[in-house]
Amino acid sequence: MNTKNAKIAVVTGAGSGIGRAVAVELLDAGWSVALAGRRPETLAETAALGPDGACLAVRTDVSKPEDVAALFAAAVERFGRVDLLFNNAGTFGPGGVPVEELPYEAWRHVVDTNLNGAFLCAQAAFRQMKAQDPRGGRIINNGSISAHTPRPLSVAYTSTKHALTGLTKSLSLDGRAYGIAVGQIDIGNAATDMTARMETGALQANGEIAPEPVMDVADVARTVRHMAELPLEANVQFATVMATAMPYIGRG
Protein backbone atom coordinates (compact mmCIF):
# COMPACT_ATOMS: atom_id res chain seq x y z
CA MET A 1 0.00 0.00 0.00
CA ASN A 2 1.24 3.50 -0.83
CA THR A 3 1.06 5.49 2.42
CA LYS A 4 2.94 8.55 1.16
CA ASN A 5 -0.15 10.79 1.05
CA ALA A 6 -2.14 9.05 3.79
CA LYS A 7 -3.17 10.80 6.96
CA ILE A 8 -1.38 9.40 10.01
CA ALA A 9 -3.13 8.44 13.25
CA VAL A 10 -1.96 7.17 16.60
CA VAL A 11 -4.63 5.11 18.35
CA THR A 12 -4.10 4.00 21.95
CA GLY A 13 -5.90 1.02 23.39
CA ALA A 14 -5.97 -0.30 19.82
CA GLY A 15 -5.88 -4.00 20.67
CA SER A 16 -9.59 -4.37 21.37
CA GLY A 17 -12.97 -2.71 21.74
CA ILE A 18 -13.42 0.91 20.73
CA GLY A 19 -9.73 1.38 19.91
CA ARG A 20 -9.74 -1.53 17.47
CA ALA A 21 -13.00 -0.41 15.87
CA VAL A 22 -11.70 3.14 15.35
CA ALA A 23 -8.37 1.90 13.99
CA VAL A 24 -10.13 -0.33 11.46
CA GLU A 25 -12.49 2.47 10.43
CA LEU A 26 -9.54 4.79 9.80
CA LEU A 27 -7.63 2.10 7.94
CA ASP A 28 -10.63 1.43 5.72
CA ALA A 29 -10.74 5.17 4.97
CA GLY A 30 -7.13 5.18 3.79
CA TRP A 31 -5.34 6.35 6.93
CA SER A 32 -2.09 4.87 8.19
CA VAL A 33 -2.29 3.98 11.87
CA ALA A 34 0.19 3.45 14.70
CA LEU A 35 -1.49 0.97 17.03
CA ALA A 36 -0.63 1.27 20.72
CA GLY A 37 -1.53 -1.15 23.50
CA ARG A 38 -0.15 -3.31 26.27
CA ARG A 39 -0.54 -6.68 24.51
CA PRO A 40 1.42 -7.29 21.29
CA GLU A 41 -0.76 -10.25 20.32
CA THR A 42 -3.98 -8.23 20.24
CA LEU A 43 -2.26 -5.38 18.40
CA ALA A 44 -1.18 -7.90 15.78
CA GLU A 45 -4.81 -9.04 15.45
CA THR A 46 -5.90 -5.45 14.83
CA ALA A 47 -3.09 -4.87 12.34
CA ALA A 48 -4.17 -7.96 10.40
CA LEU A 49 -7.52 -6.26 9.73
CA GLY A 50 -5.86 -3.46 7.74
CA PRO A 51 -4.03 -3.26 4.41
CA ASP A 52 -0.41 -4.34 4.22
CA GLY A 53 1.96 -1.58 5.24
CA ALA A 54 -0.69 0.70 6.72
CA CYS A 55 -0.18 -0.31 10.36
CA LEU A 56 2.58 -0.05 12.90
CA ALA A 57 2.03 -1.95 16.17
CA VAL A 58 3.92 -0.59 19.19
CA ARG A 59 3.67 -2.23 22.59
CA THR A 60 2.90 0.71 24.89
CA ASP A 61 2.02 1.32 28.52
CA VAL A 62 0.63 4.85 28.29
CA SER A 63 1.31 5.50 31.98
CA LYS A 64 5.07 5.32 31.31
CA PRO A 65 6.66 8.44 29.77
CA GLU A 66 9.40 6.41 28.10
CA ASP A 67 6.85 4.14 26.39
CA VAL A 68 4.87 7.11 25.10
CA ALA A 69 8.03 8.79 23.79
CA ALA A 70 9.00 5.57 22.01
CA LEU A 71 5.51 5.24 20.50
CA PHE A 72 5.57 8.69 18.89
CA ALA A 73 9.18 8.33 17.79
CA ALA A 74 8.30 5.06 16.07
CA ALA A 75 5.22 6.56 14.41
CA VAL A 76 7.18 9.52 13.05
CA GLU A 77 10.08 7.34 11.91
CA ARG A 78 7.68 5.07 10.01
CA PHE A 79 5.14 7.56 8.66
CA GLY A 80 6.83 10.97 8.88
CA ARG A 81 4.23 12.88 10.93
CA VAL A 82 1.16 12.56 13.18
CA ASP A 83 -2.16 14.04 12.07
CA LEU A 84 -4.40 12.48 14.73
CA LEU A 85 -4.17 11.11 18.24
CA PHE A 86 -7.17 9.11 19.42
CA ASN A 87 -6.53 9.12 23.17
CA ASN A 88 -8.50 6.01 24.00
CA ALA A 89 -6.53 3.76 26.39
CA GLY A 90 -8.36 3.29 29.66
CA THR A 91 -9.50 0.96 32.41
CA PHE A 92 -12.59 0.74 34.58
CA GLY A 93 -10.64 -0.53 37.56
CA PRO A 94 -12.32 -2.75 40.13
CA GLY A 95 -16.09 -2.51 39.85
CA GLY A 96 -18.61 -2.49 42.64
CA VAL A 97 -16.14 -1.48 45.36
CA PRO A 98 -17.34 1.08 47.95
CA VAL A 99 -15.11 4.15 48.14
CA GLU A 100 -14.03 3.38 51.68
CA GLU A 101 -12.78 -0.06 50.58
CA LEU A 102 -11.03 0.91 47.35
CA PRO A 103 -7.30 0.16 47.66
CA TYR A 104 -5.06 3.11 46.91
CA GLU A 105 -3.13 0.95 44.43
CA ALA A 106 -6.34 0.38 42.45
CA TRP A 107 -7.14 4.11 42.48
CA ARG A 108 -3.62 4.94 41.35
CA HIS A 109 -3.71 2.43 38.49
CA VAL A 110 -6.90 3.96 37.08
CA VAL A 111 -5.52 7.50 37.42
CA ASP A 112 -2.20 6.52 35.87
CA THR A 113 -3.88 4.90 32.87
CA ASN A 114 -6.91 7.09 32.21
CA LEU A 115 -5.59 10.53 33.13
CA ASN A 116 -1.81 10.49 33.29
CA GLY A 117 -1.64 8.33 30.18
CA ALA A 118 -3.95 10.67 28.27
CA PHE A 119 -1.83 13.65 29.33
CA LEU A 120 1.45 11.99 28.32
CA CYS A 121 0.10 11.05 24.89
CA ALA A 122 -1.38 14.51 24.34
CA GLN A 123 1.90 16.11 25.40
CA ALA A 124 3.84 13.97 22.91
CA ALA A 125 1.30 14.76 20.19
CA PHE A 126 1.59 18.50 20.89
CA ARG A 127 5.36 18.35 20.59
CA GLN A 128 5.18 16.55 17.27
CA MET A 129 2.30 18.56 15.82
CA LYS A 130 4.00 21.87 16.64
CA ALA A 131 7.28 20.75 15.05
CA GLN A 132 6.09 19.09 11.84
CA ASP A 133 5.54 20.72 8.46
CA PRO A 134 2.77 21.44 7.74
CA ARG A 135 2.15 22.19 11.40
CA GLY A 136 -0.92 21.07 13.34
CA GLY A 137 -3.14 18.06 13.87
CA ARG A 138 -6.04 16.81 15.93
CA ILE A 139 -6.48 15.10 19.29
CA ILE A 140 -9.70 13.28 20.19
CA ASN A 141 -10.04 12.19 23.81
CA ASN A 142 -12.32 9.31 24.79
CA GLY A 143 -14.23 10.82 27.68
CA SER A 144 -17.21 8.50 28.35
CA ILE A 145 -20.70 9.21 29.63
CA SER A 146 -19.00 9.04 33.03
CA ALA A 147 -17.40 12.39 32.21
CA HIS A 148 -20.89 13.76 32.96
CA THR A 149 -22.77 11.30 35.16
CA PRO A 150 -21.32 8.55 37.38
CA ARG A 151 -22.40 5.00 37.85
CA PRO A 152 -22.63 3.76 41.43
CA LEU A 153 -19.36 2.58 42.98
CA SER A 154 -17.12 3.98 40.24
CA VAL A 155 -15.22 6.73 42.01
CA ALA A 156 -11.84 6.21 40.32
CA TYR A 157 -13.15 5.83 36.77
CA THR A 158 -15.62 8.71 37.11
CA SER A 159 -13.02 11.04 38.63
CA THR A 160 -10.59 10.45 35.79
CA LYS A 161 -13.24 10.92 33.13
CA HIS A 162 -14.38 14.20 34.65
CA ALA A 163 -10.72 15.24 34.69
CA LEU A 164 -10.42 14.36 31.00
CA THR A 165 -13.02 17.00 30.22
CA GLY A 166 -10.79 19.61 31.84
CA LEU A 167 -7.81 18.23 29.95
CA THR A 168 -9.73 18.49 26.67
CA LYS A 169 -10.73 22.10 27.31
CA SER A 170 -7.24 23.15 28.32
CA LEU A 171 -5.59 21.40 25.37
CA SER A 172 -8.15 22.87 22.99
CA LEU A 173 -7.32 26.37 24.19
CA ASP A 174 -3.56 25.85 24.17
CA GLY A 175 -3.62 24.23 20.72
CA ARG A 176 -5.30 27.10 18.90
CA ALA A 177 -2.08 28.96 18.15
CA TYR A 178 -0.52 25.90 16.53
CA GLY A 179 -3.34 24.52 14.40
CA ILE A 180 -4.04 21.73 16.89
CA ALA A 181 -7.75 20.97 17.26
CA VAL A 182 -8.81 19.05 20.37
CA GLY A 183 -12.19 17.47 21.02
CA GLN A 184 -13.80 14.78 23.13
CA ILE A 185 -16.18 11.93 22.42
CA ASP A 186 -18.33 10.70 25.30
CA ILE A 187 -19.54 7.17 24.67
CA GLY A 188 -22.34 5.27 26.35
CA ASN A 189 -22.78 1.49 26.16
CA ALA A 190 -20.92 0.60 22.99
CA ALA A 191 -20.99 -3.18 22.65
CA THR A 192 -17.49 -4.44 23.48
CA ASP A 193 -16.00 -7.09 25.75
CA MET A 194 -15.64 -4.44 28.47
CA THR A 195 -19.37 -3.65 28.42
CA ALA A 196 -20.74 -7.17 28.00
CA ARG A 197 -22.17 -7.12 31.52
CA MET A 198 -24.47 -4.21 30.62
CA GLU A 199 -26.76 -6.50 28.66
CA THR A 200 -27.07 -8.99 31.50
CA GLY A 201 -27.46 -6.48 34.31
CA ALA A 202 -25.76 -3.36 35.67
CA LEU A 203 -26.10 -1.68 39.04
CA GLN A 204 -28.44 1.31 38.88
CA ALA A 205 -28.54 4.40 41.08
CA ASN A 206 -31.56 3.05 42.98
CA GLY A 207 -29.65 -0.11 43.90
CA GLU A 208 -31.41 -2.37 41.43
CA ILE A 209 -29.66 -4.56 38.86
CA ALA A 210 -31.07 -4.02 35.38
CA PRO A 211 -29.99 -4.86 31.82
CA GLU A 212 -29.12 -1.87 29.65
CA PRO A 213 -29.32 -1.33 25.88
CA VAL A 214 -26.07 -1.24 23.93
CA MET A 215 -25.12 0.04 20.49
CA ASP A 216 -22.82 -1.20 17.75
CA VAL A 217 -19.24 -0.07 18.37
CA ALA A 218 -19.01 0.66 14.63
CA ASP A 219 -21.30 3.65 15.20
CA VAL A 220 -18.69 5.07 17.59
CA ALA A 221 -15.93 4.47 15.06
CA ARG A 222 -17.82 6.31 12.33
CA THR A 223 -18.31 9.27 14.66
CA VAL A 224 -14.61 9.42 15.47
CA ARG A 225 -13.78 9.27 11.79
CA HIS A 226 -16.15 12.18 11.11
CA MET A 227 -14.45 14.23 13.83
CA ALA A 228 -11.01 13.24 12.56
CA GLU A 229 -11.64 14.15 8.92
CA LEU A 230 -12.91 17.66 9.49
CA PRO A 231 -10.55 20.41 8.31
CA LEU A 232 -8.50 21.82 11.16
CA GLU A 233 -10.47 25.04 10.88
CA ALA A 234 -13.49 23.14 12.28
CA ASN A 235 -13.77 21.13 15.48
CA VAL A 236 -16.32 18.94 17.24
CA GLN A 237 -15.53 20.11 20.76
CA PHE A 238 -17.76 17.55 22.50
CA ALA A 239 -19.83 14.73 21.05
CA THR A 240 -22.02 12.29 22.97
CA VAL A 241 -22.75 8.97 21.26
CA MET A 242 -24.89 6.55 23.24
CA ALA A 243 -27.34 3.71 23.02
CA THR A 244 -30.61 5.56 22.47
CA ALA A 245 -32.51 3.95 25.34
CA MET A 246 -29.75 3.64 27.95
CA PRO A 247 -30.55 5.10 31.39
CA TYR A 248 -28.78 8.43 31.10
CA ILE A 249 -31.18 11.20 30.07
CA GLY A 250 -33.75 12.05 32.73
CA ARG A 251 -34.64 9.04 34.87
CA GLY A 252 -33.94 6.53 32.11
Asked if 157 is an active-site residue, the reply is yes
* Catalytic residue (choose from 104, 157, 178, 248): 157
3-state per-residue secondary structure call for the chain: CCCCCCCEEEEECCCCHHHHHHHHHHHHCCCEEEEEECCHHHHHHHHCCCCCCCEEEEECCCCCHHHHHHHHHHHHHHHCCCCEEEECCCCCCCCCCCHHHCCHHHHHHHHHHHHHHHHHHHHHHHHHHHHCCCCCEEEEEECCHHHCCCCCCCHHHHHHHHHHHHHHHHHHHHHHHHCEEEEEEEEECECCHHHHHHHHCEECCCCCEECCCCECHHHHHHHHHHHHCCCCCCCCCEEEEECCCCCCCCCC
Which of the residues are catalytic?
A: 157
